[in-house]
Structure 1
């Protein structure tokens, strides 16, 4: 374990992308994640600016939009975001679509870029989620055989364009669901994201630099102030998420709060406090408190 608190990784990505000397940490995370689906390690070529000033705060945008290139010279766009909404898949689809449109409007030739990878960092889980990492992509196949197809189209100059595997791919990472077991490099990144800490026996070549660069105590006063403001906004967003959960879950939360009140009331009654005072402190009705007192004998 490190002896210094580390910046939460979702904030650290933007912090690290301020300096090209720190790109390798972000490259290490992306490479470890893409490796789970058989892709080669990548390097960052450029940062994209795709945020629209017209968007409201809850839609703004990704943590990072990057052009990356692997060792085989394949180019991709990688979009990383942190999501606080239970509609995170809709948000991922919206952001990826917007990123493609923004890229086209930039009047650049993006036909050299093979696809977009979207990475969502989720600091919550759903009832359906059992594992920390989920991956999805679009596959075009014949209806009757389910066999994936490769499409090649020639333009007027008879230059062949291979329309294969160009659709966006999505990674959804639920940080709380990481089970603490480290089997591959991406697991070390998940541990670090969940605990803001690095174990001394981690084998990833990036972890030593992560521990050094992300130490809160290494930040300037201005940087630390920006980070604490970010944490306050994150807590607020988490509260919004909790308030927007499904009604069944909210009923469960309310039931838990009510049970906690009853337990506090029992303890206060056991200490000899009168029913009126207990009702005032716990916000229970006097009738409820008197019922508890009867049950307790």
Structure 2
């Protein structure tokens, strides 16, 4: 069986290729499989990335698109751990809502926002690799879900109250087990491995296979892509090194604190400071300091 061709990573495609109308089919395929709808991209909007620092530009990629329903879809690829990431996507969706409501317009003109996060770091606790979040109103006493009235459904052109609010999709790429059970899994396989198997049939993947081949890149573009991949590896190594140093320092400090705890408990039992220092592994100065503090 021939090896799958090496393909451009999805984040690089978002940065350089998928903003072109000629490649909308790839993006439409991914979103259609994720949202279970026939998505058509009408336009790519200005991205947030222009306001980011160089480090943020490396660690994340974002793209904003408007679909045929007038909804704005935010797509973000994030590599490095961010503990307040949920607040980050809340801020992004809220700002998009506010920025797209013209001054003096009624609230019924608020745009629907769909946030899609492709995460390459351990995020939260949970066994799944795709999570969906929506705002629902549940009765405290009867546990029923609040529904729109007939007039509201006619006004808003939707059936459920949660459809009026931002929705969030979190894809935990590293937690995917590489078994493609459905078309969405085929896309996540590509997101994780940068490969498309010959039997994959998900919408958009065939176009991705044809157009995201690394070997088809012009030489300057291929070199830029390789530098980008090297930068990602370098950044990951720096983060891992910082974590390793911090962990070793923490372990060392923990061992020292435990030795001091034992020494304090033996101050009245062993009166010879030299012997106590030998027994606990502390220095003579440490033992004398502990006696002075006691």
Q: 1:41 maps to which residue?
A: 38
Deviation at 1:240, TM superposition (A): 6.2
Q: 1:103 maps to which residue?
A: 100
Normalised to the residue count of structure 2, the TM-score between the two structures is 0.69
Supply the RMSD in Å over aligned alpha carbons.
3.6
Q: 1:281 maps to which residue?
A: none
More displaced stretch, 127-136 vs 192-201:
127-136
From 125, 133, 136, the counterpart of 2:133: 136
2:64 is the counterpart of 1:65: yes
Asked if the contact 1:10–1:82 (Cα under 8 Å) also holds between the matched residues in 2, the reply is yes
3-state DSSP of counterpart to 1:150: coil
Asked if the contact 2:120–2:174 (Cα under 8 Å) also holds between the matched residues in 1, the reply is yes
Structure 1 unaligned segments of length 5 or more: list them. Answer: 256-297
Q: 2:264 maps to which residue?
A: none
Q: 1:204 maps to which residue?
A: 202
Rounded Cα–Cα distance in structure 1 between residues aligned with 2:239 and 2:135? 29
Distance 1:91 1:217, change over 3 A: same
Asked if the contact 2:113–2:165 (Cα under 8 Å) also holds between the matched residues in 1, the reply is yes
Deviation at 1:176, TM superposition (A): 1.2
From 45, 54, 72, the counterpart of 1:77: 72
How do residues 173-252 of structure 1 correspond to structure 2 at under 5 angstroms? 173-239=171-237, 242=240, 251=247
Normalised to the residue count of structure 1, the TM-score between the two structures is 0.68
Asked if the contact 1:2–1:211 (Cα under 8 Å) also holds between the matched residues in 2, the reply is no
More displaced stretch, 133-142 vs 234-243:
234-243
Rounded Cα–Cα distance in structure 2 between residues aligned with 1:127 and 1:146? 27
Rounded Cα–Cα distance in structure 1 between residues aligned with 2:190 and 2:20? 21
Asked if the contact 2:64–2:74 (Cα under 8 Å) also holds between the matched residues in 1, the reply is yes
Aligned length: 242
Rounded Cα–Cα distance in structure 1 between residues aligned with 2:107 and 2:13? 28
Asked if the contact 1:6–1:216 (Cα under 8 Å) also holds between the matched residues in 2, the reply is yes
Asked if the contact 1:47–1:64 (Cα under 8 Å) also holds between the matched residues in 2, the reply is yes
Q: 2:90 maps to which residue?
A: 93
Q: 1:118 maps to which residue?
A: 115
Deviation at 1:107, TM superposition (A): 8.7
Deviation at 1:151, TM superposition (A): 4.6
Structure 2 unaligned segments of length 5 or more: list them. Answer: 252-294
More strand by percentage: 1
Deviation at 1:52, TM superposition (A): 7.1
More displaced stretch, 236-245 vs 199-208:
236-245
